[in-house]
Structure 1
Amino acid sequence: MKLSRFITSHMEELLEEWELFARSLPIPGAAISKTDLRDHARQMLQAIVIDMDGIESAVQRKKKATSDVSEMAGAQTAAATHGSSRQLIGFTMPQLTAEFRAMRASVLRRWMAQVTVSSKTVTQDILRFNEAIDQALQESAIRYSQQSDRTRNTFLAILSHDLRSPLTTMTMAGALLSRPSADPSSSVQIGARVARSAATMTTMVNDLLEFARTQLGGRMPVTPSLGDIGEICKQAVDDASAAHPKCKFQLSTSGEMIGDFDAPRLAQLFSNLLNNAAQYRSDDQPVTITACGDADTAVVQVTNFGRQIPSDSLKAIFDPLVQLAMSDDHKAPNATSIGLGLFIAREIASAHGGTIGAESSLESGTVFTVRLPRVSLNEGVAGS
Structure 2
Amino acid sequence: MPELQLLDSLHNGPRFSVTTPLEEVEAAAATTDVLVLEFDAFRDGRGFSLASVLRERGYTGRLIAAGKVLPDQARHLRRTGFDAVELNPGADQATWRRMDGAFSAAYQDAVDPELTIWERRAAARAAPNAELPIAPTEAELEALADRLNTELESADAVTILKAALDPSLGLKAAAISSFGAESAALLHLIAKEDAALPVVFLETGQHFFQTLQYRKQLTESLGLSDVRLVTPDAAEKADLDARDDLWKTDADACCDLRKTRPLARATVGFTALITGRKRHQNATRAALKPFEVLDGVLRVNPLADWAAEDIEDHLTAHALPRHPLVEQGYLSIGCHTCTRPVQEGEDARAGRWSGMDKTECGIHLGRREPIAA
TM over 0.5: no
Instruction: Select the structure that is richer in helix.
Output: 1
Give the TM-score taking structure 1 as reference length. 0.26
